[in-house]
Copies of this chain bind each other. A is one copy, B any other.
Amino acid sequence: MAKVLVEVSARHLHLTQEHVETLFGKEHQLTPLKWLSQPKMFAAEETVTLVTPKTSIENVRVLGPARNYTQVEISRTDAIRFGLEPPIRDSDEINLDGTPGIRIIGDKGELKLEKGVIMSWRHLHVSNNQALELGVTDGQVVKIKIDGERGLIFENVLVRVHSDFSSAVHLDTDEGNAAGIKGSVIGELIVEKNQLC
């Protein structure tokens, strides 16, 4: 059975360059703090405070580089704290219709996002070559098995193929905690023929 890296993404957001400037000042550029497993992607030094009528959460990490849409990715635990009901969406696709908004506060300014809060559909990133090796295709769903005290098998893991991607499963913190993952682990990829979503 194929082994794949499994990583946990804490709550984070992607910003347009316009929103970067609203929050951090005119002509501000996001500053890489730590490079991520996906090429060119980084955790930025910049953080924000997310605010809803129910609560606020500080120190939420911005991921870079700037994108052509602003999107906030939170866990369901976060969603309940915020009093929001975001849908589960493919975080690599721009589909923010019907998603709730949120207030975002940065060092130099703030903005009221009208929509853009999602919970991420758990997914496996792979490059074209890795997809061939693993026998998976873009848009397919697979299963990922995690061993240990809180061992489990995640079903309905979305495969995303892209020339830039490096092989890694991305879970949110609820999923990572439910599986007892600290940091990252190696999981087993289970590919079934004619698997139903």
Q: List residues of A whose CB falls within 8 A of some B CB.
A: 75-77, 80, 88, 121-122, 149-156, 171-175, 177-180
Contact = CB atoms under 8 A, between A and B. Distances in A.
Tell me whether chain A's interface is mostly helix, strand or loop, or mixed: mixed
Contact of A177 (B77, B151, B152, B180): B77
Nearest to A141: B151
Contacts of A76: 177, 180
A-B pairs with the 3 shortest C-beta distances? A178-B178, A76-B177, A174-B177
Contacts of A178: 171-172, 174-175, 177-179
A150 B88 contact: yes
A192 B83 CA distance: 40
A152 B153 contact: yes
How many copies the complex holds: the figure is 2
A88 to B, nearest CB: 6
Contacts of A156: 149-152
A129 to B, nearest CB: 29
Contacts of A150: 88, 122, 156
Contacts of A88: 149-150, 180
A156 to B, nearest CB: 5
Counting chain B CB atoms within 10 Å of each CB, which of A150, A151, A153, A177 scores highest?
A177
A154 B180 CA distance: 12
Counting chain B CB atoms within 10 Å of each CB, which of A80, A88, A150 scores highest?
A150
Nearest to A157: B152
Contacts of A151: 155-156
A180 B151 CA distance: 17
8 contacts: A76-B177, A77-B174, A88-B149, A150-B156, A152-B152, A152-B153, A152-B156, A173-B174
